[in-house]
Amino acid sequence: METKVFKPSAVDQAAALIAAGQLVAFPTETVYGLGADATNVAAVKQVYQAKGRPSDNPLIVHVADVATVERFAKPLSINAKRLIKAFWPGPLTMIFNLKPDALAPEVTGGLTTAAFRNPANAATIALIKAAKTPIVGPSANTSGKPSPTTAQHVLHDLDGKIAGILDDGATKVGVESTVLDLSGDQPAILRPGAVTAEAIEAVIDEPVLTEQHHVGATEVPKAPGMKYKHYAPDAQVYIVDQVTDWPAALKWAAQQQVPMGVMATDAVLKANELPANCERFSLGNDVQSASRELFAGLRHFDTETSIKDILAQAFDNYGLGAAYMNRLNKSAGQTHFRV
């Protein structure tokens, strides 16, 4: 099929495709999602097929308002209402217990819970409202590959597989939303993102579990990114843990005698001379810009077919750095450069 690209001014055309059971990628402040009518089982099945996504990997339901959540979820707790007031619209996804048979198993992975998000993107809110339905929205990429942060990234992976893309430029955050499980006895972060545990705890005034990012091979994950390989380019990624490790890492890179990629901040790139076989990609000046550019950098080197290995800079594992390191560790398969 032809994949049409729509600007926000043509959102009604994109919404008509969603309403007709077609797939349309949409922008958020985090990454681009692959949208389908969350109440249309046939459309939801197409999402898994287009992405090559395992069917037990549940989908996030994107909504334009809290009333839509209340149609499907059991009564919201006081904590949920506080968090909605504090962080919606924004990069926080929350998992709620569902009313019986509220959503199809294809959306929930067969669970009695579902994840909901109200994205901070005016074009996508307009899309949901015009389509008159909540939309599922996993990242709009081939399953397992780096998430897309531009419409061009989506087109690279899904051209001819989906009906359209709503193009609102590059995303602002660059890593997927925080996923907070509110379906159990204690709030738990299943995927770190821009909304940190500390920020959540300040709103609900109780501890949040944070080391809940993985499930076993036979378990059904409650959220994306907990079970299957994610964010990986074709090249092998090596994480450089400390700024002081870069001279040794670059010396090692020079000895490999194959094309190498280097993803680091401007300060690291300025302080170190890159070997002739290394191509640089700037992560900007800090963890905010690095999070925004991480997937773009991984995708850049994916398109450079001669690149065999990538050295990537680590950040401290707290705040937004926890989200950045979660994605980087998965893209590297937990592989670190050792001095």
DSSP string spanning 11-43? HHHHHHHHHTT--EEE--SSS-EEEEETT-HHH
The C-alpha atoms of residue 178 and residue 97 are separated, in whole angstroms, by 18
The C-alpha atoms of residue 119 and residue 157 are separated, in whole angstroms, by 23
pLDDT score at 223: 63
Topology of 4-204 in CATH? DHBP synthase (3.90.870)
Alpha-carbon radius of gyration of the chain: 20
pLDDT score at 230: 67
Q: Where in the chain is the domain with CATH 3.90.870.10?
A: 4-204
Q: What are the residue ranges in the chain where pLDDT is below 70?
A: 55-56, 212-230, 305
The C-alpha atoms of residue 241 and residue 233 are separated, in whole angstroms, by 19
Task: Order across the sheet with 188-191: list the strands.
Answer: 4-6, 164-166, 24-26, 33-37, 135-136, 60-62, 113-117, 92-97, 178-181, 188-191
The C-alpha atoms of residue 62 and residue 59 are separated, in whole angstroms, by 9
State how far the alpha carbon of 183 is from the alpha carbons of 32, 73, 127, 153, 266, in Å: 26, 10, 28, 34, 42
State how far the alpha carbon of 294 is from the alpha carbons of 34, 45, 228, 291, in Å: 20, 29, 19, 5
pLDDT score at 216: 53
SS3 content of the chain, % helix, strand, coil (to 5): 35, 20, 45
User: 5 is written with which tokens?
Assistant: 């690209």
User: 127 is written with which tokens?
Assistant: 């899309």
State the CB neighbour count (10 A cutoff) for residue 97: 17
Question: Looking up tokens 């401290």, which residue turns up?
Answer: 316
| Element counts in the chain: helices (H) and strands (E) | 12, 14
The C-alpha atoms of residue 28 and residue 64 are separated, in whole angstroms, by 12
pLDDT score at 220: 59
pLDDT score at 217: 52
pLDDT score at 144: 84
The C-alpha atoms of residue 108 and residue 221 are separated, in whole angstroms, by 10
pLDDT score at 107: 94
Enter the pTM of the model.
0.92
The C-alpha atoms of residue 85 and residue 225 are separated, in whole angstroms, by 26
User: 241 is written with which tokens?
Assistant: 């843990």
- The secondary structure of residue 100, as a DSSP letter, is T
For domain 236-332, the CATH superfamily is Threonylcarbamoyl-AMP synthase, C-terminal domain (3.40.50.11030)
Q: Where in the chain is the domain with CATH 3.40.50.11030?
A: 236-332
Closest CA to 4 of 151, 141, 169, 123: 151
Question: Looking up tokens 């994480």, which residue turns up?
Answer: 239
User: 206 is written with which tokens?
Assistant: 């109780």
**297 Cα distance to chain centroid:** 15
